[in-house]
Chains A and B, each alone.
Chain A
Amino acid sequence: MTERVTKLRQQSLDRKPTLSSERAELMTAFYRDAPAAPLPILRALSFQYLMDRKALYIEPGELIVGERGPAPKATPTYPELCCHSLEDLDILDSREKISFALDQQARDAYRDDVIPYWRERSMRHRMFGELPDAWKHAYEAGIFTEFMEQRAPGHTVADGKIYEKGLSGLQAGIDRELAALDDLHDLDAYDKRQQLKGMRLAADAVIRFAHRHAQEVARLAAAEADPVRKAELEQIAASCAWVPEHPARTFWEALQAYWFVHLGVITELNTWDSFCPGRLDQHLYPYYKREIEAGTLTRERAKELLQCFWVKFNNQPAPPKVGVTAAESGTYTDFSNISNGGLKADGSDGVNDVTYLILEVIDEMRLLQPSSNIQLSKKSPDRFLEKACEVIRKGWGQPSIFNADMVVAELVRQGKSVEDARCGGTSGCVEAGAFGKESYILTGYFNLPKVIEVTLNDGYDPRTERQIGPKTGDPATFESFDQFLEAFRRQLQHFIDVKIAGSHIIERMYATLMPAPFLSIITDDCIRNARDYNAGGARYNTRYIMPVGPGTAADSLSAIKYHVFDHGHVTMPALVKAVRDNFIGHESLRQLLVNKTPKYGNDDEYADAFITLLCDWLFTQIDGRRGPTGSVYHVNYLSTTCHVYFGSVCGATPDGRHAFVPVSDGISPAQGADRCGPTAVIKSASRMDHARSGGTLLNQKFTPALLEGAEGLDQLAHLVRAYFKLDGHHIQFNVVTGDTLRAAQKEPEKHRDLIVRVAGYSDYFCDLTKGLQDEIIERTEQKQF
């Protein structure tokens, strides 16, 4: 790592996120005196107003320029979507985790300016005014979350067109569509014209923003005494004058072009999953190859540029979130997740020299953002997987690994062309998408264990003390397991319907009230359709529902069947009572449920049948349903931090889980449930049909000692290849730290799955004596990094 990068990286790490009221103030000023114009044009003009006025920031020494806020980590707000109250601001300022410091000036601006104007105009306010009680009650009970209540739809990724065409090239396309509009025969021609004009204006906004940087950097260059830095600044100024308006000419310009587009997307609206360059290695490779061959770029310089580019992502924390949204996604990470490797449009192996370069960048940078993943195809060389595993084994959580062949299979099953699927990948956490051509919106997490709880209470939620679901019978009277299953299926169907009904309202509100003209320009086929991204203009429009806690839910079903109906260890009334009592006074029964229930994650057909059943039902109830903009629903299994929130609103469950503790994450087994090692987890996880999802997330833990040496590395790679042969979608490895082991000492029940290498053998950590545990903790801490 060069001295420059070391410094920029450290500065980025040291900076504390702050809340900037700049954007909120500018938006308020614009809207107060807004011109009379159709909505798409109004939105585009507000965007121009912002981009023409926001403060510029150039960091000494940096090679890629541009920040979203007035300074790195100064995080803007989006009052047109979510207008924070003064109380929200206090919480954001003072909360222990994921806080945003703000000064008196920002507070005053909010009190005097922003709040009075936006309080009743924000999308959030209007949305909660429109949503039905059934939706609100289920939302408050914690059955599901709602992504769009504080942030805009986004969940999309760039393809290669911005490098190849430049924004002026895209504007030329807009002009062709405008010229072809036929007001006599096309009855939507007026609306289309406004959309297209808005897009054109939005592109101008970003081009002008780049030109402002060109002027500012040229000014700095003129004043620069150091000749080396002066030349760099002149080069940056020349780049900013050229990209993203025109096609990038060099590797360096390609990165700068993307970065301006990125800033445009995340400034226009606070889109979920910020934005992402996607298949960066594919997009950069032609520039890299040409310049390396011409001798105008060295590998070291390319790496330094990439590392400067990495720092820019880390300077943009996720916009401030409050309430349930903060709980479901409690992180500064804004889910830029760069895909590496994978396949080319023609189906051939996509790994190239830039792929390996990026792996080195990931290894050295170790930043929260951007996140990174590898797309591993059966065609990918083993060397690629090995290099990735070397980084993974260091244990800081990146890159995660995706099955590129499966991603293609999932996208094609959803109806994408095979070429679009191959040029896609995954973004956010694990979501499959056709990059540059798809709007794949996460609508919300869905709490499966909570539905079990509600079923056990005949549709009643004990925590909010409301009847939120249909009356499906008192389970204490159930005489067969099928009766329970049927009650559960009806509750599930009810809440999915409630969720989707609300999503229809929200989808329509965004389509009609909150166009995103800039995001529309760079997403095919919004220009050709002359329709906004938020109104179904993209080639593919997907809505995901993400069921959380399938492990906990499957284990709960297994426990009921096994202990009540198969073996008679406990009666249904006694089980219902114990669960309602949170097992207080029923510890012996709870131990039985925890320790002697067939559980998901152990390659046990009895338990895994419930995961298969759940996935079948969810698929049947969700997949293929249509939204009002022509969107199509699919299922996705990820949880971010929502398994913690969902656990905190869910009472005890029949698998022996106590009330209000986390439920299982992604498609991982419930905490401590898997007792047969990673191969068994993989076998269990592959019993669900990943092809019928838009992504699944599997977490695996290991201690550093378990995978030591060349052989350990090989076995890690083999484990991944085997999971992917079994059609798994994604796997990620977390190294077990001394802290985790200490937590396991304190609460063994939650960590029964922790396998450690003892000496010549591996054993479950919680089964070791205290002395031996202490020794392993000490050893683990020595081995890290």
Chain B
Amino acid sequence: MTCATWTDPAFLGIPVAEGRILRIERFAIHDGPGIRTTVFLKGCPLRCAWCHSPESQLLQPEFMPKPERCIRCLGCTMACPHHAVQPAADKGPVAPDACDTCGACVQACPTGAREFVGRTMSVDALMAEIERDRIFYDESEGGVTFSGGEPLMQPAFLLDMVRSCRASAIHVAVDTCGHADTGALLEVARDADLFLFDLKMMDEERHLAYTGSSNVRILHNLEQLAAVHSNILVRFPLIPGVNDDDENVRETGAFLSALRLTRVDVLPYHRAGMAKYDRLQRPYPLADTQPPSADTQAHVVRLLEEYGLIVRPGGSS
């Protein structure tokens, strides 16, 4: 997937007025102020080795079976028009080439063992879902958070959503990895109230090695965004052996401080995502990495604070 094409909605096969949604989480209370609804958009340009949400990476719908629920009723195999499916409990190939993700097996499954992630929703339909919890946003000064994946991977849809929310007086936060079309980002910035901006590491080579992409565009985008938007919370995922060295932390602090950004959350690496790799039958890249120690976290917080930053330690990503 190249940068030249990933912003082109036509390439994605989704009409501009529709988006591909991974899931919608209501009563999200850790993705910005107040009680929020977090909309996870599916698809991400990065492939971070520590990603705890691997099912969000591909834009296409995917099956994410829950084998422990399967009762082997064979409803799915009988429903599949392409004979591409076997019960979720029987891990193994499902003839992926024959599957056109029509969803017949999901419909037929009585237990929910066959689950489809990545549904297509119109702006109106998604707005209606968001509106459901308006009374809670009003009460708590909360709102909606667009997260992912990378929400800016569906820029036209995101822009429509952000504008619709603004028109409906709903507070909007955008949780981005920063690897996005600069024009789209700045356009979204006109109507978004808050950015949660992930900054992983400063060294380009290392960034490429651990995320599959260079960080040049990310750093550039953060500079551009900081120039026009006053409410940016930087999130620094702390991954032992990857970005917890003093050099990277200091460079990060210096970079943010130069941009006059002040708020950083340090999000310690955790291994909760491992199980999802198993379900997607993908290998887990950081099998040997352990969460950072309390000492390491405290040390990193101290280093960042030397740059005049307001650091919240121990938040989670």
Query: Which residues in A have some Cβ–Cβ distance to B below 8 Å?
Result: 587-589, 591-592, 595-596, 603, 676-680, 683, 706, 711-712, 714-715, 718-719, 721-722, 725-726, 758-762, 767-769, 771-772
Contacts and interface: CB of A to CB of B under 8 A. Distances in A.
B97 interface: no
A442 B140 CA distance: 37
A331 B30 CA distance: 38
A676 B26 CA distance: 7
A592 B110 contact: yes
Contact of A722 (B110, B132, B136, B316): B136
Contacts of A712: 29
Given A758-B272, A768-B275, A771-B275, 13 more contacts: A588-B71, A677-B27, A680-B132, A683-B132, A683-B133, A706-B29, A718-B136, A719-B35, A759-B270, A759-B317, A760-B30, A760-B267, A762-B25
A592 B133 CA distance: 28
Q: Which residue, A678, A761, A771, has most C-beta atoms of chain B within 10 A?
A: A761
A711 B142 CA distance: 12
Contact of B73 (A591, A683, A771): A591
**Nearest 5 A/B pairs, CB to CB:** A718-B140, A591-B110, A592-B110, A769-B275, A760-B316
Contacts of B204: none
B288 interface: no
Nearest to B107: A596
Given A592-B110, A769-B275, A771-B275, A725 B135 contact: yes
Given A588-B73, A588-B75, A719-B136, A679 B35 contact: yes
B111 interface: yes
Contacts of B278: 769
Nearest to A775: B272
B100 interface: no
Contact of B34 (A591, A715, A771): A715
7 contacts: A592-B110, A595-B111, A676-B26, A678-B27, A679-B132, A715-B35, A759-B52
B139 interface: yes
A77 to B, nearest CB: 48
A712 B132 CA distance: 21
Contacts of B132: 603, 679-680, 683
B139 A725 contact: yes
Contact of B112 (A595, A680, A715): A595
B229 interface: no
Interface in B102-128: 110-112
B26 A679 contact: yes
A772 B110 contact: no
Contacts of B267: 760
B66 interface: yes
Given A587-B73, A718-B35, A767 B66 contact: yes
A759 B272 contact: yes
Given A676-B26, A759-B270, A591 B135 contact: no
Tell me what chain B mostly uses at the interface: helix, strand, loop, or mixed: loop
A591 B71 contact: yes
B110 A677 contact: no
A725 B133 CA distance: 13
A711 B29 contact: yes
Contacts of A758: 272
B272 A718 contact: no
Interface string B129-145: 00011011011101000
Contacts of B272: 758-759, 772
Q: Which residue, B27, B34, B112, B132, has most C-beta atoms of chain A within 10 A?
A: B27
A603 B132 CA distance: 8
Contacts of B111: 591, 595
Nearest to B33: A711
Nearest to B275: A769
B110 A589 contact: yes
A725 B135 CA distance: 8
Contacts of B317: 759-760
A760 B73 contact: no
Contacts of B275: 768-769, 771-772
A760 B25 contact: no
Nearest to A707: B29
Contacts of B316: 759-760
B71 A587 contact: yes
B140 A714 contact: yes
A772 B317 CA distance: 17
Nearest to B140: A718
Contacts of A706: 29
B152 to A, nearest CB: 19
Nearest to A603: B132
B25 A761 contact: yes
A722 B135 contact: yes
Nearest to B37: A679
Q: Which residue, A592, A714, A722, A759, has most C-beta atoms of chain B within 10 A?
A: A759
B133 A679 contact: yes
A677 B71 CA distance: 26
Interface string B176-220: 000000000000000000000000000000000000000000000
A679 B136 contact: yes
A704 to B, nearest CB: 14
B29 A715 contact: yes
A253 B269 CA distance: 60
A728 to B, nearest CB: 11
B51 to A, nearest CB: 11
A588 B69 CA distance: 12
Contacts of A725: 135, 139
Contacts of B139: 718, 721-722, 725
A726 B133 CA distance: 12
B267 to A, nearest CB: 7
A603 B129 CA distance: 10
A759 B140 CA distance: 23
Interface in B1-34: 25-30, 34
Contacts of A722: 35, 135-136, 138-140
A706 B30 CA distance: 9
A752 B135 CA distance: 26
A596 B110 contact: yes
Contacts of B26: 676-677, 679-680
Nearest to B279: A769
A564 to B, nearest CB: 15
A681 to B, nearest CB: 9
Nearest to A752: B112
A170 B139 CA distance: 47
A678 B25 CA distance: 11
A759 B317 CA distance: 7
Contacts of A596: 110, 112
Contacts of B75: 588
A502 B7 CA distance: 72
Interface string B272-283: 100100100000
A762 B28 CA distance: 8
Interface string B142-169: 1000000000000000000000000000
A760 B52 contact: yes
Contacts of A595: 110-112
Q: Which residue, A603, A715, A758, A772, has most C-beta atoms of chain B within 10 A?
A: A715
A758 B278 CA distance: 17
A679 B71 contact: no
